[in-house]
A = this chain, B = another copy of it.
Amino acid sequence: MRSVFVHPRAICESSEIGPGTSVWAFAHVLPGARIGADCNLCDGVFVENDVVLGDRVTVKCGVQLWDGITVEDDVFVGPNATFTNDPFPRSKVRPERFARTVVRSGASIGANATILPGVEIGTGAMVGAGAVVTRSVPPNAIVTGNPARIKGYVTDTGRAGVPEPGSGPPETGRVDLGVGGACLHGMRVTKDLRGELSVGEFERELPFVPRRYFVVFNVPSREVRGEHAHRRCAQFLICVHGSCGVLLDDGRNRREITLDGPALGVHMPPMIWGTQYRYSPDAVLLVFASHYYDPEDYIRSYDEFRKLARDLPAPT
């Protein structure tokens, strides 16, 4: 199994094929392609020259990989999934250079999906069958539809909302989310004929005294915000109007929360990769931060974050 297998009805013109890789019938690999180990190129796959595949990549039948495409380790490409490399193709008009498309390690692309040129499919992302991907896909995001929209994130525990009744602390207590010390807080709400009031006392009910607040609003519903981690700054998030989804990721575990009113807050300690998305059109997200703004405090690359996070001691 450690040798390269090329089906007799396949055409393999490249010599850079890793051990354990199979090329099946009617597949065609052009000379310049570089393909890693233990890959599987099924019947009818076509690979151009300026293409790089990592290890353990599966490419199902009917897929073409064009010049400009990079596929990292452990990627799955479903049958008839279709890549492109020219945003405005005209016959016999060759663009100055082809758009570059990258599929990050561990991502999957569903059957018959279409990937527009120049996008990046993030680590661990899942492109649904039949999706038409017109913009880059964040790490671990699940996208479907035409055009593709984020429908969720790949989490460990599924999409979590409010803690199960009976199983957790009282309404105004807190629930550990199992992600880097993050907690869901139930905030006191009182209601009378004149409306509703939600209150929080810093240090007593919230874990810190804020140095600043910020308010996020008028977010187009398809947009994703956040997507970074802080080295030292803690945050406390409350969606005071409308709703939004919050994804927390400590590099080991991932969990998603829906915030939908002043009664619910989430405490994000430092070193959590946070993502907010699924903003309702009228969402207003209020955030308290424990430190003044400091650009050095931000980690903006998910891969860098994962490396740093893995060096941290596991929470007890």
Q: Are A215 and B195 in contact (CB under 8 A)?
A: no
Given contacts A132-B130, A240-B241, A284-B241, A89 and B114 within 8 Å (CB-CB): no
Which of A74-82, A169-177, A297-305, A307-315 contacts its partner? A74-82
A111 at the interface (CB under 8 A from B): yes
Give A184 to B293 CA distance when docked, in angstroms.
23
A266 at the interface (CB under 8 A from B): no
A98 at the interface (CB under 8 A from B): no
Q: Return chain B residues, CB-CB under 8 Å to A202.
A: 210-213
Partner of A108, one of B79, B91, B218, B238: B91
* 0 or 1 for each of A191-204: is its CB under 8 Å from B? (1 = yes): 10111111111111
Most buried by B among A88, A89, A106: A89
Q: Are B89 and A292 in contact (CB under 8 A)?
A: no
Q: Return chain B residues, CB-CB under 8 Å to A66.
A: 79
Q: Return chain B residues, CB-CB under 8 Å to A207.
A: none
Q: Return chain B residues, CB-CB under 8 Å to A110.
A: 84, 89, 114
Instruction: Tell me the nearest residue of chain B to A57, going by C-beta.
Output: B91
A28 at the interface (CB under 8 A from B): yes
A212-252, CB < 8 A from B: 212-220, 223-225, 238, 240-241
Q: Are B25 and A25 in contact (CB under 8 A)?
A: no
Give A294 to B71 CA distance when docked, in angstroms.
59
Q: Return chain B residues, CB-CB under 8 Å to A212.
A: 199-202
Shortest distance between the CB of A222 and any CB in chain B (Å): 10
Give A64 to B24 CA distance when docked, in angstroms.
14
Q: Are A89 and B108 in contact (CB under 8 A)?
A: yes
Partner of A240, one of B78, B80, B82, B284: B284
Shortest distance between the CB of A211 and any CB in chain B (Å): 6
A95 at the interface (CB under 8 A from B): no
Instruction: Tell me the nearest residue of chain B to A42, going by C-beta.
Output: B46
Given contacts A79-B64, A195-B220, A216-B195, A91 and B74 within 8 Å (CB-CB): yes
A153 at the interface (CB under 8 A from B): no
Given contacts A43-B28, A111-B84, A145-B146, A216 and B197 within 8 Å (CB-CB): yes
Q: Are B217 and A200 in contact (CB under 8 A)?
A: no
A279 at the interface (CB under 8 A from B): yes
Q: Are A80 and B58 in contact (CB under 8 A)?
A: no
Instruction: Tell me the nearest residue of chain B to A75, going by C-beta.
Output: B91
Shortest distance between the CB of A99 and any CB in chain B (Å): 12
Given contacts A200-B212, A240-B286, A225 and B195 within 8 Å (CB-CB): yes
Q: Are A111 and B82 in contact (CB under 8 A)?
A: yes
Partner of A26, one of B44, B91, B203: B44
Give A43 to B10 CA distance when docked, in angstroms.
12
A126 at the interface (CB under 8 A from B): yes
A112 at the interface (CB under 8 A from B): yes
Give A238 to B198 CA distance when docked, in angstroms.
15
Give A224 to B261 CA distance when docked, in angstroms.
22
